[in-house]
Amino acid sequence: MNISQFFLQLINGLNIGSIYALVALGYTMVYGIAKLINFAHGEIIMVGSYTVFVCTTLMGMPIWLSIPVSIIVCAGLGICIEKVAYKPLRNASRIYLLITAIGISFFLQSLFQLIFTSNPKSFPTIIQLPPLTLGSFSISANYYLTFVVSVILMIVLDRFVKLTKTGRAMRAVSEDQGAAQLMGININKTISITFAIGSALAAVAGILYSSSYPLINPFMGSTLGIKAFIAAVVGGIGIIPGAVLGGFILGIIESLTKAYISSQMTDAIVFLVLIVVLVFKPAGLLGKNRKEKV
């Protein structure tokens, strides 16, 4: 095995794995607090990318301004989706929430296809930093910046949930919404903040993903969202470090599969890993099995 080639594949794996990790953090935040699998999360990634495209290409905004605009738009969209679609069904069966999430996903895809057509659009160049040189290896700025951002956001998010008043409210809502409400915690506000944070993370992931793969289309978030969901489950959905670990593992597996087995087998092996984890560690690699009293 060529060590140089193997190292390059690890770098490629960490790059896409970092993006999976950012998206998985959004899944984890929403599931951990609201116990909802938001399958419209992938489309929020797409909205984030298109927002930057519109701001820079059509409105002439500078890059440094278009990025926070994209994050704010996605955070607001996440709150709107929760208020309009999920809040009225909060006490309904989980299957209704799941169907609603899928419906929102198709709605956003169709809406953006109607507005922008299905033709791919060129994403503007955002990252203009020099490559990182390690001996004979040169690592693109997109790669190392994506990795650093995902790790930093994981640490910040973990500290936020554990140390801040809002974070403690989130954990209380996650454990028992009824008890949290009796303690004076505003359930609606807490869940809205959770969706805003998760959607903001999706915007960051969308921007970084589109910087590495600079063609965007209305369906770009579907596969990315599914892969990130698998990463969250593999690492332990509801656990912040687990989402990042699952993202890195999935990205590396994908990269090594494409390089040494077959690119056509990539998705099959990813789902095989998911099955193996669910069989032997149903709560995920960092998850803990909990027994519920009946």
Q: 293 lies in a domain?
A: no
Does residue 134 sit in helix, strand or coil? strand
Q: 290 lies in a domain?
A: no
pLDDT band at 238 (very low <50, low <70, confident <90, very high): confident
User: What is the percentage of the chain residues whose pLDDT exceeds 70?
Assistant: 97
Range of the domain at 7: 3-121+142-280
Average pLDDT over residues 144-164: 89
Poorest-confidence range of 171-180, 184-193, 216-225? 171-180
The CATH number of the domain where 24 resides is what? 1.10.3470
Average pLDDT over residues 12-32: 89
Q: 218 lies in a domain?
A: yes
Q: What is the pLDDT of residue 290?
A: 58
Q: What is the pLDDT of residue 292?
A: 46
Q: 133 lies in a domain?
A: no
Q: 204 lies in a domain?
A: yes
Average pLDDT over residues 45-52: 95
Q: 135 lies in a domain?
A: no
Q: Based on the structure, what is the number of domains in the chain?
A: 1
Pairing between β-strand 121-122 and β-strand 132-134 as defined by DSSP bridges? unpaired
Q: What is the pLDDT of residue 127?
A: 77
Q: What is the pLDDT of residue 1?
A: 54
Q: 46 lies in a domain?
A: yes
Q: 288 lies in a domain?
A: no
Q: Is the dihedral angle over the CA atoms 180, 186, 190, 191 positive or is it negative? A: positive
Residue 116, CA distances (Å) to 76, 144, 204, 215, 219 in order? 21, 31, 21, 13, 12
